[in-house]
Amino acid sequence: MTPIQLLGLIAVLAIVRVAIGIRPGIPVSSGADAPGRPSTRTVLREYLDAFIVAGLVALLLITFVVRTFYIPSGSMEPTLQIHDVLLVNEFEYKFTKPHEGDVVVFLPPVVTSNDFIKRTIGLPGDQLRVHNGVVYRNGVAMNEPYTAEKPNYELQVRDYGIYVDGNPLDPSAANIPPRSMWSAPDRIPAGFYLMFGDNRNLSEDSHIWGFAQTGGVFQSGQVKGQKASFTGHAFLLFWPLNRVRILR
């Protein structure tokens, strides 16, 4: 087990310990004479049993449900900083769809050996535009207190593509589905998402490589025909300790 996995196990163990309320037995009165206080050995054994149970549950969770990731770049600053360590729920998107604002780990449509982490901004069926530094989703300006600065580019989903500064992203380099997959020329197709880094102007994201996908294969671009997926939802920043908090 790597140090990051060990940290993840400790974090999950703490969560499980609190969530299921494992604790040693507390004597209660039945109305008869009160029993004597339990011995130190008994108390220690009960704590040890509780710790073992919680540890086994945590190990199962971190093996099959939760995974640890660390942040190698500044593309999600200020929300996530370099060397932050996260817990990612790999089970959630098997049953639910990503929501607007989720911080997601996913396979990007570029040649890389690593998953990417970005924020979900545009959902299937959405109209989306970036204008004068403001993101408009379905015509409504988004409130984005998590961003480092306003984007210095213009972007719009229209005419069956993603236009950046007035020019369409090239399907030979970006993931743009064919027209047959679009329900309307200005609405994000089913199964496709626009992902932005919180550090908008220093993030390699959808304004460069097009749409991310929850499944299937990439429709165009560098890795056309290769598997696409969302790895999971990042829900907890747990290292370093002075930055521990729940993520959306």
- The pLDDT of 113-138, averaged and rounded, is 97
What are 131's strand-pairing partners?
134
Evaluate if residue 5 carries a pLDDT over 50.
Answer: no
How many percent of the chain have pLDDT more than 70? 74
Alpha carbon 52 to its chain centroid, in Å, reads 29
Instruction: Break the chain into its structural domains and give their ranges.
Output: 3-25+38-64, 71-246
Evaluate if residue 28 carries a pLDDT over 80.
Answer: no
What are 195's strand-pairing partners?
120
Q: Round the CA-based radius of gyration of the chain to a whole number and report it.
A: 23
For residue 175, give the 3-state DSSP assignment: strand
Quote the mean pLDDT of the chain: 83
pLDDT for 66: 82
Tokens standing for residue 34: 């009160």
pLDDT for 50: 52
Higher pLDDT, 14 or 180: 180
User: Phi and psi at residue 40, in whole multiples of 5°?
Assistant: -60, -40
In the residue annotation, 97 being an active-site residue is answered as no
40-64 and 3-19 are packed helices; what angle lies between their axes, rounded to 10 degrees? Answer: 120
pLDDT for 104: 97
Q: How far is CA 44 from CA 49, 232, 244, in A?
A: 9, 38, 30
The model's confidence at residue 53, banded by pLDDT at 50, 70 and 90, is very low
In the residue annotation, 75 being an active-site residue is answered as yes
What are 192's strand-pairing partners?
213
Please tell us whether the domain made up of 71-246 is placed in CATH 1.20.58.760: no
Q: How far apart are CA 74 and CA 55, in angstroms?
A: 33
Q: How far apart are CA 120 and CA 158, in angstroms?
A: 19
- From the candidates 29, 118, 172, 229, give the one annotated as an active-site residue: 118
Residues whose CB falls within 8 Å of the CB of residue 111, separated by 6 or more in sequence, listed in order: 222, 223
- From the candidates 29, 30, 73, 75, give the one annotated as an active-site residue: 75
Q: How far is CA 24 from CA 16, 29, 40, 117, 154, in A?
A: 15, 16, 12, 40, 59
- The pLDDT of 180-185, averaged and rounded, is 97
Evaluate if residue 160 carries a pLDDT over 90.
Answer: yes
Inter-residue contact 11 to 246 (CB < 8 Å): no
Inter-residue contact 130 to 136 (CB < 8 Å): yes
pLDDT for 197: 97
Q: How far is CA 60 from CA 13, 22, 133, in A?
A: 10, 17, 44
